[in-house]
Amino acid sequence: MSMTFSGQVALVTGAANGIGRATAQAFAAEGLKVVVSDVDAAGGEGTVQLIRDAGGDATFIRCNVTVDAEVKALVEGTVAAYGRLDYAFNNAGIEIEKGKLAEGSEAEFDAIMGVNVKGVWLCMKYQIPQMLAQGSAGAIVNTASVAGLGAAPKMSIYAASKHAVIGLTKSAAVEYAKKKIRVNAVCPAVIDTDMFRRAYEADPKKGEFAAAMHPVGRIGKVEEIAGAVLYLCSDAAGFTTGHSLAVDGGATAI
């Protein structure tokens, strides 16, 4: 089996930086046309420029994944730009917690669940009918987390949201398996992103702890998550659906 792609179209949300940007670049490097989406227009356009500078084909469409009409317009815009949608990486997500469960606020709960869960649900709600209408195989990968595979102290709402993403992923995978649409999730541990730097820049010791929590002795690279996403979208993973792939340096093996 090959991971070769040709003449196909990928949509990446949360693609203004970090894992989303790296994955959009990886899709483009494989010859796919890429729709880059984010609420951060400057970052999203920056991703598009990086892809174009490398000889790839990309378009930016701004979208707040918590708004039904905007997600619908995103999928419609993808088809208007490139004629179809073959792969989707629903990566947009946030984490804003800093305390234990009883210290959280309703505003935090609504914000995290809105982006991380409703956003993934809305994206699949509009991506799947488009893939079905094309009558060809499609693949969707959702960003969950190792926090969706177990406990995440002081990040209980975030953990709940990522458990929910895995539930949506598995349910959609079963519902559309016979329609040749595969749905999987990628579950990163701590990855070197802006989100990581915000969490640990004030206390270098926390960064050292983050590295030590992985048996490999370091945090992950965005390119390593991008590689996992491309694998799950490729024909090499043709018999894989409903799976939550931990890319975690061995963290969940402990």
- What are the residue numbers of the active site? 158
- Rounded Cα distance, 34 and 82, in Å: 9
The DSSP result for 156-186, as a single string, is: HHHHHHHHHHHHHHHHHHHHHGGGTEEEEEE
| Six-digit token string for 109 | 């709960």
Cα–Cα–Cα angle for 94, 96, 100, nearest 5°?
A: 130
- Other CB atoms closer than 10 Å to residue 254's CB: what's the count? 8
Q: Are the beta carbons of 185 and 117 closer than 8 angstroms?
A: no
Q: What's the full length of the chain, in residues?
A: 254
| Six-digit token string for 112 | 């995290």
Burial category of 103 from C-beta neighbours within 10 Å (exposed 0-12, middle 13-18, buried 19 and up): exposed
